[in-house]
Structure 1
């Protein structure tokens, strides 16, 4: 659905991404992992159309993202960034309702209230609907932002995509597990999902494919069992790993 083809992105003379090709398909979760500064968030911004590649291209349904009208693109893909700042006091339900803005003036707008209600319930924040967004914890705000993205995609034509940048970073173990299970269900329902993660065990649980980035380059992209191996991880992170059936553990003593 959305595909990067030889995408390169530069900040000044430095290439933050170099010749990266990655495709998202309906019904699939692609997790992106790698060390700090590997280019994970930059890749997500390119796939979302929030930044343009210096070389190569990123396309949705075969058409370059730059050729899409912003509203049309917003009706096909939703993005949850790491940090979202709000300049005005709003209730959690109102923040989730922002996801319906691309549908203003269309017949789909008649479904706005129901779409927001469904999204809040799916994200597990229906009980926070009347709370001031500014009073919520970091994890609660993140879940409200996920509800906003779900409201945005409610009724969207298929294929559609959901792009998540470190969505579990502020969540406790229970809510992280619930979110990852939700991501699996969304993909099973036909969405194409890209999720940037730091936790390799979370990636192993949620992903159909895992893309490993290091120094702006795509090192590997395949099924979790073929990517999350000691040789691959040790080459990328520079420390030892113990990979067992029960999980993936870095050898912390080697970091010191």
Structure 2
């Protein structure tokens, strides 16, 4: 289990997180939602050890995350950040291979090559392997970085025995992973994440599309101004009232028998505008 316990994070007088707790179990996809500035990215960076909380602690399998070496942590959790700047024009294949660096010294082994090939194929970018990453579109680059973190966490057993649960828990931390992706690849990425949870991975994803949260997340944490507003199953948490509180937005929740989950629709309200003569 990956968890944060009563964490707060403050910069000068600005409180970014205020007494937030969250536990992510193997096999769960937990979405984190909230308005801009609610503390979502700060929470994810705290989970990944990029930031240290002002108060509280982060635990991986009941052990403080600070007690793991960088190598141990790289083999247990991978992060897809919002921004992924590159200092050099690496090819797609080279960048995805970097995900395997925590697993070998010197030259990659046959299993490393197989895992990279699988990650390229699973994210639909095998045909781009020889391209320089900066020459790709934003959506293509996002898929490349997803392939990199898949390569970082996956093992040969994941490929050869996909129906067997993983032995040791591993976690993907996804910060707005659908940014720049078209409709097809938004769902494709979340299908990959869901497939991994069925194998025993844990996934934390910051998402803005509440309908994607309804469709894919097992649980959702709703943040407002650095505080946890609600946590639980999406259909129970994402109500018209909670969405109004978190986003200052009026919505309708539509339930249709043919849908597996409720549909959230923005309610457009007429605004009275004074006329000038």
In structure 1, the partner of 2:92 is 92
Deviation at 1:105, TM superposition (A): 2.9
Pairing partner for 1:159 from 155, 169, 189: 169
Runs of 4+ in 1 over 4 A off after TM superposition: 106-110
Q: Identify unmatched segments of 5+ residues in structure 1.
A: none
Give the structure 2 partner of residue 44 of structure 1: 44
Structure 2 Cα separation of the partners of residues 215 and 55 of structure 1: 17
Q: 1:68: which partner in 2?
A: 68
Q: Which position in structure 1 is the counterpart of 2:275?
A: none
> Take 1:87 and 1:107, find their aligned partners in 2: how far apart are those partners?
22
Instruction: Work out which of the residue numbers 226, 232, 241 in structure 2 matches 1:231.
Output: 241
Residue-by-residue CA offset, 1:139-166 (whole Å, 9 max, x unaligned): 0000000000000001286200011000
Alignment partner for residue 248 of structure 1, among 245, 252, 264? 264
- Distance in 1 (CA, whole Å) between partners of 2:271 and 2:66 is 43
Per the alignment, do residues 106 and 32 of structure 1 end up closer, same or farther by CA in structure 2, a change over 3 Å counting? Answer: farther
Question: Residues 201-233 of structure 1: CA distance to partner in whole angstroms, max 9, x if unpaired?
Answer: 011111000110110011111011101110111
Change (3 A) 1:121 1:253: same
Partner Cα separation in structure 1 for residue 127 and residue 167 of structure 2: 29
In structure 1, what is the Cα distance between the partners aligned to 2:24 and 2:229? 17
**Distance in 2 between residues matched to 1:102 and 1:255, nearest whole Å:** 56
Query: C-alpha distance in 2, partners of 1:152/1:239?
Result: 39
CA distance in 1: counterparts of 2:50 and 2:128, whole angstroms: 29
Cα distance 1:136–1:66, how it changes in 2: closer, same or farther (>3 A)? same
Kept in 2: contact 1:80–1:163 (CA 8 A): yes
Q: What CA RMSD, in Å, does the superposition of the two structures yield over aligned residues?
A: 1.8
Distance in 1 (CA, whole Å) between partners of 2:195 and 2:269 is 37
Q: 1:255 to 1:35 in 2, by over 3 A?
A: farther
Q: How many residues align?
A: 256
Q: In structure 2, the residue corresponding to 1:188 is in which secondary structure?
A: helix
Equivalent pair of 1:240/1:254 in contact (CA under 8 Å): no
List aligned pairs for 1:133-144, cutoff 5 A: 133-144=133-144
Deviates more, 1:100-109 or 1:77-86: 100-109
